[in-house]
Amino acid sequence: MEAGSNFVPAIPQLRIPADAPPYLAGARCADCGQVYLARPVACPKCFSRREMAEVALAERGKLYSYTIIHRSFPGVKVPFVMAVVDLDDGATLRGTLADIVPDPAAIRFDMPVRLTFRDSGQLDAAGQPYLSYIFVPDEEAA
């Protein structure tokens, strides 16, 4: 994904800098260091209410859980793999696992995955494309 593209973020935590690649912004607890995608009012791990610093989430992780979706909304191509991924920085995200055959024989728990960004295929009201994140198998780590 090129820096400075004309995409709009599909979620509020997606940052698209003009001079750098896109990334997901998370929050790190000032007391225990736990990382989250969304900024909670209090840390669910240690209950701290101190301000959380914004951090770029890790781009690599491991597949924690998945399900193969066979029925979805009209216009959504099925089957696809919905995954829960534990990122290397401790954050846990849910997203689509792409570039893999949606077959249980092709997917394994703890398989290395990488966070990447792609055009979602949808447009906002002004006609700009949305940029979204997905997970893909991390061939370099395998």
pLDDT digits (tens, 9 = 90+) for 95-132: 999 999 888 888 999 999 999 999 998 899 999 999 99
Contact between 14 and 131 (Cβ < 8 Å): yes
CA distances from 106 to 42, 79, 124 (A): 39, 14, 35
Contact between 62 and 92 (Cβ < 8 Å): no
The tokens describing 9, both together, are: 């973020």
CA distances from 103 to 72, 98, 124 (A): 17, 12, 33
Contact between 41 and 57 (Cβ < 8 Å): no
pLDDT digits (tens, 9 = 90+) for 60-81: 999 999 999 999 888 788 899 9
Predicted TM-score of the model (pTM): 0.88
Dihedral angle, C-alpha 98, 70, 73, 101, nearest 10 °: 20
